[in-house]
Structure 1
Amino acid sequence: MIHCCQEHVELALDIVVDEYETAPKIEKLESEQATCEYCQNKAEYVVAN
């Protein structure tokens, strides 16, 4: 599971596809106070397999 901002959502998608070789699921975060794993901005999405 990768928390990411709008800017890094494509990178997170690529990483999940490369790692798990399956289509990833993207969910919009509503209330969670997570930060982007790549730039520390507020995370807007969670990408998982």
Structure 2
Amino acid sequence: MKKYSCETHIDHALDMHVAETEEYPMMDMLKEEEKLSTKCSYCKELATYIVSSK
């Protein structure tokens, strides 16, 4: 499971990941080239982070 998040929604993305998967989430910064086209999973802002299980 992967969720993309802007600065505003990162806490929500981490909480939702734990609630949905019951696993510890990993949070990574998106690469500069990925930031240009990746939208937040919760709003229309550009994503800064990716939350996933590794």
* The two structures share one fold, judged by TM-score above 0.5: yes
Provide structure 1 residue ranges, at least 5 long, that are not aligned to the other structure.
none
**In the alignment, residue 9 of structure 1 is paired with which amino acid?**
I
Paired position in structure 1 for 2:40: 36
TM-score normalised according to structure 1 size: 0.91
Aligned residues: 49
3-12 or 31-40: which moved more? 31-40
Q: CA RMSD in A?
A: 0.7
SS at 2:9's partner residue? helix
TM-score computed with the length of structure 2 as normaliser: 0.84
Runs of 4+ in 1 over 4 A off after TM superposition: none
The runs of 5 or more residues in structure 2 that have no matched partner are none
2:50 alignment partner in structure 1: 46
